[in-house]
Each structure stands twice: as structure tokens, then as C-alpha cells.
Amino acid sequence: MTQNQLDGMAPEPKFLSQLLPGESATVLQLQATGAIRQRLLEMGFIRGATLKVEKLAPLGDPMELVLKGYHLSLRRDEGACILVVPIAATANSSVA
């Protein structure tokens, strides 16, 4: 556990590609540039958007997400440029 978690503060940011099925998070920042950044923004990956990881493909790539009420698949390398803040497990049931 990190010191922030021990102090009762919000979880530390991590990359979307690090989340596991069932975990939810809020988008904090896109670190992509160019056409990939534009594509992610158009899909709804904007600051404050809430998402949930539904499942991973058998080999771990792509990952299926629920974002703004719809399902989408995203490659893990694309998820590695999306910084998110995990949502506490007690709040996961209200996502999507």
C-alpha cells in the first residue's frame, strides 16, 4: 500500500493498460499525440469520463471497456497512453 492509500486519500494514477477486469477508473489525462489522441478523444476518453474494464482477450490484448454506456475494444498499447485514477471498489457498481 502506498502512503496516500494509508492516509485515506484518492488512489494514485495509473495507466489504463494496468487495470484488470472489473476495475473502474476516471480518465485523468491523455498522453497520446496526433491522430491517436484525436481518435481517443472522439471515442470519449476525456478528462473526468468514467470507464470500467469488462474483460481482456485470451492473450490480454485487446481489452474490452464500457465508456459512456457503450462497449469498445482498445489495444493495450493505446491504453498505455491514458492516465486514469482508479475508483474504489465500493463505487464500482454505479459505473456505466
Instruction: Assess if residue 57 is contained within a domain.
Output: yes
* 21 assigned to some structural domain: yes
CATH assignment at residue 46? 2.30.30.90
Domain of 20, in residue numbers: 11-94
For the whole prediction, is pTM greater than 0.85? no
Domain for residue 63, yes or no?
yes
74 falls within a domain = yes
| Residue 21 phi, psi (nearest 5) | -55, 135
Phi and psi at 10, nearest 5°, equal: -60, 150
Q: Is residue 88 part of a domain?
A: yes
Which SS3 state, helix, strand or coil, does residue 18 take? Answer: helix
pLDDT tens digits for 2-58? 555 455 566 799 999 999 999 999 999 999 999 999 999 999 999 999 999 999 998
pLDDT at position 90 is 47
Identify whether 4 is part of a domain.
Answer: no
Average pLDDT of the segment spanning 58-87:
92
Q: Is the residue at 82 inside a domain?
A: yes
| Domains contained in the chain, number | 1
